[in-house]
Amino acid sequence: MTLVFASNNAHKLSEVRQIMPNTHILSLEEIGFLSDIDETGSTLDENSMLKAQTVWKWLSNNSASKAKNIAIDGVFADDTGLEIDALNGAPGVYTARWYMMEDVGCQMLDVGGQMLDGAGQNRAKALRVLAGNTNRGAQFRTVITLIHMENGAPSTIQVEGVVRGRIAEEEYGNGGFGYDPVFIPEGYDKTFAELPAETKNSISHRGRALAALVKLQNL
């Protein structure tokens, strides 16, 4: 089976391919989709759906794409949010671009004076807003939308994966990506960034959502 994953994020693609070894996963770049998708939804469900629908429609209408000679069975997209208990579920749908919001300012440099990228600024913000707070509970939630043909017509399904945990008091580990160095999953004393990839994938929000998708669709 061949599916298009509506992303060019190298970290996400690697993770998805590890979790779904029996499915041929194509990135947006590999099918020639070069446009940015505006994530204008107000929820993770809406953004996940928006990305999947945008790519599905593009494939249906673009006979000149790199994928025109490839038998593609469907398109799936994910949207993920970090939901912090003490912040009433924020940043949620704004997780990836939280550092750009001016609610508590941003930190541009690390302790060594080096410029932080967006992910680094997000982690710094999470640590800063929770400084001195003993309520560090949080969860990651991933919503995946799959669009595929069923009985001659497009069919859409959504699945969800959640992992509870807490925000560490500082960054630990060099693995993973995004908020991984500051998120300690429930039942563990190490951050996602410290855990082996196989362990993280087996318990992560995205791993659980993909497992639900695989079970539902026999992928």
Report which of 161, 167, 159 is spatially closest to residue 216, judged by C-alpha positions. Answer: 159
Structural domain of 186? 2-217
Reported as a single tens digit per residue, the pLDDT across 2-20 is 999 999 989 889 989 998 9
What gap in Å lies between CA 79 and CA 49, rounded to an integer? 9
111-129 mean pLDDT? 78
The CATH number assigned to the domain holding 64 equals 3.90.950.10
Q: Give the three-state DSSP class for 104.
A: coil
Q: What is the pLDDT of residue 182?
A: 97
Q: How confident is the model at residue 111 (pLDDT cuts 50, 70, 90)?
A: very low
Q: Residue 205: what pLDDT? A: 95
Catalytic option among 38, 45, 73, 79:
79
Average pLDDT over the chain, rounded to an integer: 89
Torsion of CA 28, 31, 32, 35, to 10 degrees: -30
More confident residue, 5 or 38: 5
What is the distance between the alpha carbons of residues 50 and 38, in angstroms, rounded to a whole number?
A: 9
**Lowest-confidence region among 34-43, 113-122, 143-152:** 113-122
Q: What is the mean pLDDT of residues 182-202?
A: 95
Q: Which of 39-53, 87-101, 150-164 has the lowest mean pLDDT?
A: 87-101
DSSP state for residue 97 in the 8-state scheme: G
How does residue 144 score in pLDDT terms, banded at 50, 70 and 90? Answer: very high
> What separation in angstroms does the CA of 203 have from each of 162, 165, 188, 217?
9, 11, 11, 20
- The radius of gyration computed from the CA coordinates of the chain, to the nearest angstrom, equals 18
If one counts the domains in the chain, the total is: 1
What is the C-alpha separation between 104 and 93, in angstroms, rounded?
Answer: 17
Residue 109's pLDDT is 47
Task: Give percent of the chain with pLDDT exceeding 90.
Answer: 66
Residue range 126-151: mean pLDDT, rounded: 95
Catalytic residue status for 79: yes
> What residues contact 120, with CB distance under 8 A and at least 6 apart?
110
Question: What number of CA atoms fall less than 13 Å from residue 54's CA on the CB side?
Answer: 21
Cβ neighbors of 103 (< 8 A, separation 6 or more) are none
Grade residue 107 by pLDDT with cuts at 50, 70 and 90.
low
Distance CA 50, CA 199 (A): 30
Strands 137-150 and 74-84: antiparallel
Query: Cα–Cα distance between 175 and 201 in angstroms, integer?
Result: 12
pLDDT of residue 113 exceeding 70: no
pLDDT(115) > 80: no
pLDDT computed for residue 151 by the predictor:
85
Dist CA 57 CA 95 (whole Å): 26
Arithmetic mean of pLDDT, 192-219: 91
Residue 83, pLDDT > 80, answer yes
